[in-house]
Structure 1
Amino acid sequence: MGSCKEEDGNQPNCLWVDGPIIVGAGPSGLAVSACLKENGVPSVILEGSDCIASLWQQKTYDRLKLHLPKQFCELPLLGFPENFPKYPTKHQFISYMQYYAIHFSIEPKFKQVVQSAEYDVVCGVWRVRTQDCEYVSRWIIVATGENAEPFIPDIQGIEKFQGHVRHTSVYKCGSEFQDQRVLVIGCGNSGMEVSLDLCRYNATPHIVVRNTVHILPREIFGFSTFAVAMALLKWLPLWLVDKFLLMVTNFTIGNTDTLGLKRPKTGPIQLKNATGKTPVLDVGALSQIKAGKIKVAEGVREITRKGAKFVDGQEREFDSIILATGYKSNVPAWLKGCDFFTKEGMPKTPFPNGWKGDNGLYTVGFTRRGLLGTASDAVKIAKDIADQWRLNKGCKKH
């Protein structure tokens, strides 16, 4: 890495990077950096926060565990320790990523918030600007992923509410909501788990279910539901696997429609592949709904000073509101002059070909298939860049 020019005080404000610039030091950035290193290609990771995997370290609740068995969540080239449980905890996963970075000598440049990245057509390079410096390279790898920042929906009247409003990105534990009436907006995995956590502290959560939702048992007869589905997909068409999953689900947990949790007409795997909407893998919330400890609300029409008005005409008072509304990509805010991404910040090219764009642009962590998709894309990207790297080095020798 060399400097282009220098400011007063001999601080370079422009740095040439021999290998690719990777934006983001989450699992995606670490995975592709390790794969590049394995192929003999250096890289520089730019990370806006002060640590690796900042989403996991700073924006997740305490009781979080991986929803899938660990073999589906490993990063390339280095698996989980054998003594880790089937579903590692948040802290175990963080320790695994920290060890991963040490093992591959990955040292991101922290507190480097990427303000803009743009392809210089004249010079044939990417110019990536942070508050401190401009980094220049032939390649850029967007590794900020689908979940870069909290998604805060526009809810009518929420500014009037006199209680506490917070997103799950700042929720840690239900103890601070003890004995409260809590409105949880969003019924994905986070909304369900937060509601379950609140029950343990004698809170009364009301979970808002605006749309249809697939709820599946995390395990079927002792086997991971996801693992069973992946195994069956090797032999059976997707529609048949979906049909099997729903048949077994109805047998094990019953018809969720009766609880106000209506299923989509599209099967769970087909829906996930088409829209990225993940089915809820139940870890206990459903039994609390059946017991009446978690209330299900159809939808919020308006937030009031003391609570909420619902679409069915009812009005209830609440002490707090938790937004379990998920995350979104932040790519459109900083990647300039590029039409590879949609306005929502997702690659326009569908999986499995969304990992490569034009002019040395790559993306990892945007497959809507979790860490399994991340690992697959990281390997492809590293091989593709390594082929160019070796060709370029060979040309220089001659």
Structure 2
Amino acid sequence: MPPYFAPGMECLGKAGNESFMTREPFPTFVEGAIIVGGGPSGLAAAACLKMKGVPSLIIEKSDGIGSLWKYKAYDRLHLHIPKQFCELPYYAFPEDYPLYPDRKQFVDYLENYFQHFDMWAKFNTKVSTASYDPYSSCWKVKTQPSEADSEGERREYRAKWLVVASGENAEPYTPEVEGLKDFRGSVVHSSNYKTGAGYARQRVLVVGCGNSGMEIALDLSNFNAEPSLVVRSPVHILPREIFGTSTFAVAMRMMKSFPLWFTDACLVWYTWAMLGDTTRYGFKRPSDGPMTIKCKQGKTPILDVGTFAKIKSGAIKVCPGLKYVTPDGALFENDQFVKFDAIVLATGYRSNVPQWLKDDSGFFTAEGLPKNHSKGTWKAERGLYIAGLGRKGILGATFDAKYIAEDLSRAYASESHKRLICPLQSR
């Protein structure tokens, strides 16, 4: 049976669209936890809860799990760090997977994970609001059908516990750029970029110098486009591998035995030995080391997969900060004007938690991230838990899920003997 029940409840199949009973206009009580988000963080939380005997229901706005990787990732995307650092709890990647699985392989892994743990989910369902009801001591989660579900309807679910797992990358982020709306060429966010095949012989400006921006610039160059890359902020570029071993894996091992400053110094020295002086090509080096920044801010350094060689050869141009865009080009902070045919905004994503979560007791910032990391990033108050919003990637989400399951299972055990059902009210 599904992990929730109520008068006139709707019993859902694993795909969230098999109705076995007639819907009634009453809230549906979820025994255990409601998990908002069907990405890696939500799946990890659901699996860890199940291993502790706690049922859960995943509510996901898309038509399946892993929608960011499935629909909003470019074709050549691979994991930037080795697969062992991206495994979800209690389920390893297949042995025949490469060290850096590609987009399809990772999506297949997530789907197999979902099936392996026999999870329950409601897909094509968008959470409009989630708020705490002090009278019933439950979280009220109101939903509406996604645009893809024309036959769906608004519902309300209630549970003692709510897990926020909608992710740091829930919504594409497009910054305000003066003149961008007047640009006559094509403008796409990286979430809608798939391949450079349609950009041959075009001058393309890539705005954003993270791992995605660097790899998109490489992809464009490989398809005979003429990409230029905006590098506004200081950034570390590291070779993806050190003597055939993942740089990230080497750094993680070193951090267990040496001070952080020593690990950073070794990484910076090795980068200089392998790539040369990156500042000669328009990259400013941050004052903090790469792993210090990773630990403090959660920002992964750029792990080069071939882009820098293209930059050194001149196939990819590096531009300073962007001042404004004109109908046929862009002016940069060095007052140089360059004409472009297209713009790709590799400007990242952001959390959408402030759009739907109410009554968070001040746990989140206005940007939808935990406010005080020193007090932890996975547990708030009144049965509210958070998975994958601590800016520590999939590895951090795995730790969050295990902490959540351990803590929540104790609360669930103390409630289970009461067979508590929240008071339900008609709409």
What secondary structure sits across from 2:279 in the alignment?
helix
Could you say which residue in structure 2 is the equivalent of 1:288? 310
> What does residue range 17-166 of structure 1 map to in structure 2 within 5 Å?
17-131=30-144, 132-166=154-188
What secondary structure sits across from 1:122 in the alignment?
coil
2:6 pairs with one of 3, 8, 17: 3
Q: Which string of whole-angstrom CA distances, capped at 9 and with x for unpartnered residues, describes residues 97-155 of structure 1?
A: 11111111113100110000011122211001001211100100000111101010000
Q: CA deviation at 1:367?
A: 2.0
- Cα 1:27–1:136, aligned 2, differ >3 Å: closer, same or farther? same
Q: Which string of whole-angstrom CA distances, capped at 9 and with x for unpartnered residues, describes residues 166-220 of structure 1?
A: 0000000000111100000001000000000001111000100111111001011
Could you say which residue in structure 2 is the equivalent of 1:370? 393
Q: Report the residue type matching 2:377 in the other structure.
A: G
Could you say which residue in structure 2 is the equivalent of 1:358? 381
> What does residue range 258-277 of structure 1 map to in structure 2 within 5 Å?
258-277=280-299
What secondary structure sits across from 1:55 in the alignment?
helix
Deviates more, 1:322-331 or 1:308-317: 308-317
Is the 2:8–2:23 contact (alpha carbons within 8 Å) kept by the matching residues of 1?
no
Is the 1:214–1:279 contact (alpha carbons within 8 Å) kept by the matching residues of 2?
yes
Q: Report the residue type matching 1:371 in the other structure.
A: I
Is the 2:189–2:346 contact (alpha carbons within 8 Å) kept by the matching residues of 1?
yes
Could you say which residue in structure 2 is the equivalent of 1:170? 192
Q: CA deviation at 1:394?
A: 3.8
Q: State the distance in 2 between where 1:351 and 1:286 align.
A: 36
1:391 pairs with one of 408, 414, 420: 414
What secondary structure sits across from 1:115 in the alignment?
strand
Q: Report the residue type matching 1:92 in the other structure.
A: Q
Kindly, what percent of the aligned residue pairs are identical? 51
- Cα 1:113–1:311, aligned 2, differ >3 Å: closer, same or farther? same
> What does residue range 245-324 of structure 1 map to in structure 2 within 5 Å?
245-324=267-346
Alignment RMSD: 1.6
What secondary structure sits across from 1:99 in the alignment?
helix
Q: Report the residue type matching 1:15 in the other structure.
A: T
Q: CA deviation at 1:14?
A: 1.0
Q: Report the residue type matching 2:123 in the other structure.
A: F
Could you say which residue in structure 2 is the equivalent of 1:379? 402
- Cα 1:294–1:232, aligned 2, differ >3 Å: closer, same or farther? same
Q: CA deviation at 1:272?
A: 1.9
Q: CA deviation at 1:12?
A: 3.8
Alignment partner of 1:211 is 2:237: no
Q: State the distance in 2 between where 1:396 and 1:122 align.
A: 18
Is the 1:5–1:14 contact (alpha carbons within 8 Å) kept by the matching residues of 2?
no
Q: Report the residue type matching 1:45 in the other structure.
A: I
Q: Report the residue type matching 1:3 in the other structure.
A: A
Q: Report the residue type matching 2:72 in the other structure.
A: K
Aligned length: 396
What secondary structure sits across from 1:113 in the alignment?
strand
Is the 1:273–1:368 contact (alpha carbons within 8 Å) kept by the matching residues of 2?
no
Q: State the distance in 2 between where 1:150 and 1:396 align.
A: 42
What secondary structure sits across from 1:2 in the alignment?
coil
What secondary structure sits across from 2:257 in the alignment?
coil
Q: CA deviation at 1:237?
A: 1.4
Q: Which string of whole-angstrom CA distances, capped at 9 and with x for unpartnered residues, describes residues 27-75 of structure 1?
A: 1111110111111111010001111010010000000000111110000
Q: State the distance in 2 between where 1:10 and 1:192 align.
A: 49
Is the 1:4–1:12 contact (alpha carbons within 8 Å) kept by the matching residues of 2?
no
Alignment partner of 1:192 is 2:214: yes
Q: TM-score, normalised by structure 1?
A: 0.97
What are the ranges of 5 or more consecutive residues in structure 2 without an aligned counterpart? 11-21, 145-153, 421-427
Q: Which string of whole-angstrom CA distances, capped at 9 and with x for unpartnered residues, describes residues 262-291 of structure 1?
A: 110111111122222221000000000000
Q: State the distance in 2 between where 1:10 and 1:71 align.
A: 43
What are the ranges of 5 or more consecutive residues in structure 1 without an aligned counterpart? none
What secondary structure sits across from 2:122 in the alignment?
coil
Is the 1:352–1:367 contact (alpha carbons within 8 Å) kept by the matching residues of 2?
no
Could you say which residue in structure 2 is the equivalent of 1:221? 243
Deviates more, 1:373-382 or 1:348-357: 348-357
Q: CA deviation at 1:348?
A: 1.3
Is the 1:23–1:46 contact (alpha carbons within 8 Å) kept by the matching residues of 2?
yes
Alignment partner of 1:237 is 2:259: yes
What secondary structure sits across from 1:3 in the alignment?
coil
Q: State the distance in 2 between where 1:72 and 1:201 align.
A: 31
Q: Which string of whole-angstrom CA distances, capped at 9 and with x for unpartnered residues, describes residues 310-332 of structure 1?
A: 11111111110000000000000
Q: State the distance in 2 between where 1:52 and 1:161 align.
A: 35
